[in-house]
Structure 1
Amino acid sequence: MRILIVGAGAIGGYFGGRLLEAGRDVTFLVRPGRAEELDRDGLIVRSPLGNILYPSPPHVMTPMLDQVFDLIVLSCKAYDLDAAMESFAAAVGPATSILPLLNGMAHLDRLAARFSPENVLGGQCLISLDRDASGAILHLNDTNQLSFGELSGALTPRILKVAEALADAGFAANLSQQIVQEMWEKWCFIATGAGITGAMRASIGDVIQSGGEPLILKLLAECASVAEHSGYALRSEVRQRFETMLTTKGSKMTASMLRDIERGAAIEVDHVIGDMIARRVASDKHAKAGLTVLDYVNLHLKSYEARRVREQR
């Protein structure tokens, strides 16, 4: 199976690097600056599960993309999706499978509209990654799970081929028959964790120490309500696990959104928080409650974005 990894940033570089080390046919689609880094330094991953140093990994830039791939792994930020779709369009054929690893849910419809619903798989990853100033990818925890599946949940011949291509490559590759449910659950967790740590500019443990546990649980409940009204209620054991993780005293957990804020970068507030609000079912209870926690978090993070854009002018 010919695999195109769109970008060689933290997520794409990590999973693509693992696949390369496992002998899979992988090519990275990169921009000129990243191409220079890969030619000069190779692909570097520093991980507690084993480092990677892959000299000059196979890579291509959009003008040179002239062949169709079997599997395209998409790991860009949600605000870069339009540009990313344009960049890899030439690699998409009728039988190409696109595996997006983006946060939220809106990207599924956008990919289906730009290409075809038949091209699009569901996917998510559970891993904490960052990049340092040199371009090296830093694996920040000991989890490296990638889940994928048909949006219908069917075990089709193509998804079984994808599972075979991703198996035994140095990370947990989970073929799921309920990938949409799992994506909704992750979205609720990300919206809560990113919303709280981003808005408060602090770790979960810091927020808990300051008396913020009720606020965290209320935000999770609001997100869970949106998921339930959309037909994907959080499973009880999953919600319990989320509540435990998000209320652990002394936890140093933060979201990548906070790290982006601290470096003055763009954030996915519209896609992680804004779209959650857009899907919220308006009810008398919400109307009488005034601003919800979701509304507050959205306003806080949108204000950061407005200031960031103003100061860059």
Structure 2
Amino acid sequence: MKIGIIGTGGVGGYFGAKLAAAGNDVQFLARGEHLKAIQSKGLQVKSIKKDVHIQPANASDKISDLSDCDLVIFACKAKQVRETAVQLSKTLKKEAWILPLQNGVLAADELAEFFDRKQILGGLCMIFSFIESPGVISHVGLNEPMIIFGELDQTKSERCKTVLHLFEKADIRCKQSEDIHASLWQKFILICLSGLGAIANEGYGLIRETPESRSLLVDVLTEVSQIAKAKSINLPKDIVEKSMAIVDSYPADSMSSLARDVLSGKSSEIDYQNGTVVRFGLELGIATPANKFVLGMVKLLEQKNCKA
């Protein structure tokens, strides 16, 4: 199977390297110094589980190189999905499958603006990883990275079996979800806490241990759960408590990709996280003050850090 990886960062670089190491024909899409390093030295993944080094690695910055792929994994930032889909839709073969792994709950709908919805799977991943240096991906944290996917219409399909086998053969922990929309929201509720790490310039440890900031974590989660209920998303009744239990299991110094982006002076995905909650709240008539606070403060930090 020929697989295209759009975005060879922490997510695409890690999972793409695992797929390539398993013998698949993987075409990586990257840019800048990262691309140059991959082309000259290969793609290296440092992981507490198992290091991987793909050399040579097929990498370019031309989206047309993905035109004959059987499966395209969108691993770019959520804010890049629509603009990338516009370009890819001009070249990708019609029978190709598309799997988005973005943070947030909008990627599949955005892709459906440019592709037949039947081509698209719902998907998400669980991983703490980042570009350590050009050509090098670092996976941190004790939890084993995981991909969860499923059909958007919640049916069981042969292609899901094929994708499941593909990931299992590549030693990628994976799960086929019977309700991918619920799975997406179960992750979404957690990533809406990401901005607090940027605001505090801290890992999850101190934030969850300080009573006042822990209360804010709970407020953010509660608002997202209220939005999900209003949108008929099938989440557990105790989703807030379960989500806090997960947060309590994170390494104390762990920090989200959004927080790292903001603190390093990059623009973030905040509009696709807390911004989405605020917009849904306005549409549904549900107050979201905690999420509105996180959105506003992260926007402020983006402006401040980008000017620095």
TM-score by length of 2: 0.90
CA separation of 1:120/1:63 partners in 2, compared to 1, >3 Å: closer, same or farther?
A: closer
Distance 1:15 1:184 in 2: 22
**8 Å Cα contact 2:270-2:298 kept in structure 1:** yes
Match of 1:244 in 2: 245
The residue identity in structure 1 corresponding to 2:207 is V
Match of 1:210 in 2: 210
The answer on 1:256 being equivalent to 2:257 is yes
The answer on 1:298 being equivalent to 2:295 is yes
CA separation of 1:217/1:94 partners in 2, compared to 1, >3 Å: closer, same or farther?
A: same
Match of 1:140 in 2: 140
The residue identity in structure 1 corresponding to 2:115 is F
**8 Å Cα contact 2:265-2:302 kept in structure 1:** no
**8 Å Cα contact 1:205-1:248 kept in structure 2:** no
Match of 1:184 in 2: 185
Q: Root-mean-square deviation (CA), in Å?
A: 2.4
The answer on 1:93 being equivalent to 2:93 is yes
% identity of equivalent residues: 24
Distance 2:67 2:225 in 1: 42
CA separation of 1:29/1:250 partners in 2, compared to 1, >3 Å: closer, same or farther?
A: closer
Residue 242 of structure 2: SS of its match in structure 1?
Answer: helix
The residue identity in structure 2 corresponding to 1:274 is G
The residue identity in structure 2 corresponding to 1:34 is H
Residue 280 of structure 1: SS of its match in structure 2?
Answer: helix
Match of 1:104 in 2: 104
CA separation of 1:164/1:253 partners in 2, compared to 1, >3 Å: closer, same or farther?
A: same
Match of 1:275 in 2: 276
Match of 1:266 in 2: 267
Alignment of 1:38-57 (within 5 A): 38-57=38-57
Distance 1:200 1:262 in 2: 10
Match of 1:10 in 2: 10
**8 Å Cα contact 1:209-1:249 kept in structure 2:** no
- Between 1:250-259 and 1:299-308, the stretch displaced more is 250-259
Alignment of 1:27-46 (within 5 A): 27-31=27-31, 33-46=33-46
The residue identity in structure 1 corresponding to 2:154 is G
Distance 1:8 1:239 in 2: 32
**Deviation at residue 208 of structure 1 after TM alignment:** 3.3
Residue 222 of structure 2: SS of its match in structure 1?
Answer: helix
Specify every segment of 5 or more residues in structure 1 that has no aligned partner in the other structure, as ranges: none
The answer on 1:234 being equivalent to 2:235 is yes
Alignment of 1:75-94 (within 5 A): 75-94=75-94
**Deviation at residue 281 of structure 1 after TM alignment:** 5.7
Distance 1:284 1:83 in 2: 30
The residue identity in structure 1 corresponding to 2:290 is V
Distance 1:45 1:293 in 2: 37
Distance 1:144 1:95 in 2: 28
**8 Å Cα contact 1:6-1:88 kept in structure 2:** no
**Deviation at residue 56 of structure 1 after TM alignment:** 1.9
CA separation of 1:284/1:81 partners in 2, compared to 1, >3 Å: closer, same or farther?
A: closer
TM-score by length of 1: 0.89
CA separation of 1:232/1:280 partners in 2, compared to 1, >3 Å: closer, same or farther?
A: same
**Deviation at residue 176 of structure 1 after TM alignment:** 1.6
- Between 1:147-156 and 1:87-96, the stretch displaced more is 87-96
